[in-house]
Homo-oligomer: A and B are copies of this chain.
């Protein structure tokens, strides 16, 4: 799902939309949704403002589209991958590692999901909250299965699921791509902390 920021080919409509969402999400991450203008988005992708409006009408709809695009990424790169994994320990590892990698690979749309719900209409907000809830339930269900299998420590699965999300979502606030650790190393470290906090045998799970 991840694509480089600059691309040569600008052919299909889905590609163009993705390009617009990526550019707008970067602006939101840099200066906040309220300060963003449709003109800036147009400039960033080399289109006219009218051209942008051909795809999306207005800032609020743009924000909603970006958030759905971010949720699509989570659906495909995290839930889509992890839900194929039957073993609950391995599934938890897949969730945490793929979500962390999505952030360190620079997905601004996923970062926007964390912060900007206030900019949505009530109906839009409800839809995004529903999609986030599906993801939260997916994580908690995995922890519940681990609990049934006797593999989870004595922790509340709701608090544990939110703690995993907190660790993951916070990465986008502190990660610098020119920092000491690579994105892969950070994903590995967060995984160690999270598994150590949840599983009875975290090292065995990692060696599987």
A-to-B contact residues, CB < 8 Å = 31-32, 34-35, 115, 118, 153-156, 158-160, 162-163, 165-171, 174, 180-181, 185-186, 189-190, 192-198
Q: Quote the shortest CB–CB distance from A136 to chain B (angstroms).
A: 9
Given A170-B165, A171-B166, do A160 and B193 touch, yes or no (CB 8 Å)? yes
Among A31, A174, A186, A194, the one with the most B-chain Cβ atoms within 10 Å of its Cβ is A174
The answer to whether B32 and A192 touch across the interface, beta carbons within 8 angstroms, is no
12 cross-chain CB contacts under 8 A: A32-B118, A160-B189, A162-B170, A162-B171, A163-B170, A163-B194, A165-B170, A166-B166, A192-B197, A195-B197, A196-B196, A196-B197
Min CB gap A92→B, angstroms: 13
Q: Is chain A's interface secondary structure helix, strand, loop, or mixed overall?
A: helix
Residue of chain B at shortest CB distance from A31: B118
Report whether A181 and B156 are in contact in the complex, using a CB–CB cutoff of 8 Å.
yes
Which 6 pairs from chain A and chain B are nearest by CB?
Answer: A166-B170, A197-B197, A193-B197, A159-B189, A32-B118, A196-B197
Chain B residues near A166 (CB-CB < 8 A): 166-171
Question: Among B156, B168, B170, B180, which residue has its beta carbon within 8 angstroms of that of A189?
Answer: B156
Measured between alpha carbons, how far is A189 from B161 in the docked complex, in Å? 11
Bound-state Cα–Cα, A31 to B125, Å: 13
A156-B196 Cα distance, complex, nearest whole Å = 13
Task: Given contacts A165-B170, A166-B171, A196-B197, list 18 more A-B pairs with CB under 8 A.
Answer: A32-B118, A115-B115, A153-B192, A153-B196, A155-B192, A158-B180, A159-B186, A160-B189, A162-B170, A163-B170, A163-B193, A169-B170, A170-B170, A192-B197, A193-B197, A194-B197, A196-B196, A196-B198
